[in-house]
Amino acid sequence: MKQREGFSSGLTVFLVTLSSAVGLGNIWLFPYLTGSNGGAAFILIYLLCIAIVGLPVMLCEFFMGRRTKKNIIGAVTTLSNKKAFKSIGYLGMASTAMIAFFYAVVAGWVYSYVLKSITGTFKGVTNTEVKEIFTSSTTSIFPPAIWVFIVLTVVSIILISGVKKGIEKVTKVLMPILLILLVICVIKSLTLSGAKEGIEFLFKPDFSKVNMAVVVSALGLSFFKLSLGMGTMTTYASYYTKDSNLYGNAAKVIISDTLVSLLAGLAIFPAVFSFGLDPSSGPSLLFETIPLIFSKIPGGSILIVAFFLTAAFASTMALISMIEVLVAYFTEEKKMDRTKAVIIIVSVIFIVSAITSMTVSGGILSKYPLFDTFDKLTSSILLPLGGLIIAIFIGWFVNKKDFLDELSNEGALKQNITAAKISYIIIKFVTPILLIIVFLSSIGVI
């Protein structure tokens, strides 16, 4: 029997898990949702959601993965003989697939913008021209599908190479580069005149804009950004070494992911305010505002390449983590060859994503809004629902001692024991109640 692969070191465990969390959610989704929901007030709500919901659910997924050393379905089956709880795995895989369907489309846009940046397409562009470029990039029939194909081909090559030679090797190279490029963009943005307004927008809260819709949006973002409720963290944790500090790793990933999001905000909003642009311009913030900004500043032609390369690296690593959830299931539960599993899964994702790319606003299939449907259905309903079921499963149907033992490495990490006990109480009582309230709000019941 072929030995199951795993990550090689504690540093790798951290970098790979962070790579799953850091994606377009940081570079694309976080900035535009922050801009649309009042800036710093939204960030504070988001951080609260992470503390009382995101961290507990992440610990649950880490426990499930490393305790069983199996994919999401195998993990649930090993921990409980109740067939009803297999819904955790199937819901997670469905969420992962739906996210991949629209995420691959956005990643394709990012890849195309890397090429446009390198070839000087954005040099000296006007407001009207940059909007026309974005429209042509997203509404034509073939170019978006071609870019989706390129993205998924890159992801497939990495996945076929395996856990160590593929996922681990690529992540150890791309994550440091991503962070360096992002910091360079932040430094330049902060040196612009008028940058102070952008900084205040990020860090001076306006609670008058906070309502239940903002809370639901912040919770959905926390699940989307941290790859929770979809089996990704369970799958990656199944490759962890037995001496990994689950609590420490969760804390480091959450803190690092939040810092990357704030860096993305600092790279974008000071420049947005410096040029008098709209911080609440929505998804186009990345694809219209950024090219316009960099076209007007010294060294912009180089910085824009760096920025979109950063976004491309982030989207690639996030897609790898999503698709690995499905690959792990088919290779372990269905005994399918890894290469065959990757090819079949990616082929299905390409077909659906290519169709989805035509349903964006202005596309030839825009009357069938698959893009928006996949986005809203996963972030507002499926991911929080998956987190709710996971919290109930771990809090009420899994042996408490097993949970505490795993988070303390069988008692070897004594500093984790008290924290694990507190987390268990939150998982059992607090997290489910909050998720139920937010879930009912998201579907319009309350």
Q: Which tens digit of pLDDT belongs to each residue from 266-278? A: 988 888 888 888 8
Look at residue 1 in the predicted model and tell me its pLDDT. 43
How confident is the model over 333-362, as a mean pLDDT?
95
User: What mean pLDDT is predicted for residues 388-394?
Assistant: 95
Mean predicted lDDT score pLDDT of the chain: 91
Does any domain span residue 3? no
Tell me how far apart the alpha carbons of residues 12 and 163 are, in angstroms, rounded to a whole number: 11
Which range of 217-226, 307-316, 341-350 scores highest in mean pLDDT? It is 341-350
What is the structure's pLDDT at 290? 83
pTM attached to this predicted model: 0.92
Residue 1 within a domain: no
Residue 81 lies in a domain: yes
In tens, the pLDDT along 166-206 reads: 999 999 999 899 889 889 989 988 988 889 999 998 988 88
At 228, which amino acid appears? L
- Whether residue 292 has pLDDT greater than 70: yes
Residue 5 falls inside a structural domain: no
pLDDT of res. 406: 97
Residue 283 belongs to a domain: yes
Q: What is the CATH number of the domain that holds 273?
A: 1.20.1740
Is 193 within a domain?
yes
Q: Is residue 4 part of a domain?
A: no
Residue 365 domain-assigned (yes or no): yes
Task: Give me the domain span that covers residue 100.
Answer: 10-442
283 pLDDT band, cuts 50/70/90, is low
Per-residue pLDDT tens over the stretch 108-166: 999 999 999 999 999 989 888 988 999 888 888 788 999 999 999 999 999 999 999 99
- CB burial readout 42-69, b (16+ within 10 A) else e: bbebbebbbeebbbbbbbbbbbbbbbbb
In the chain, the number of structural domains is: 1
pLDDT in tens, 425-436: 999 999 999 899
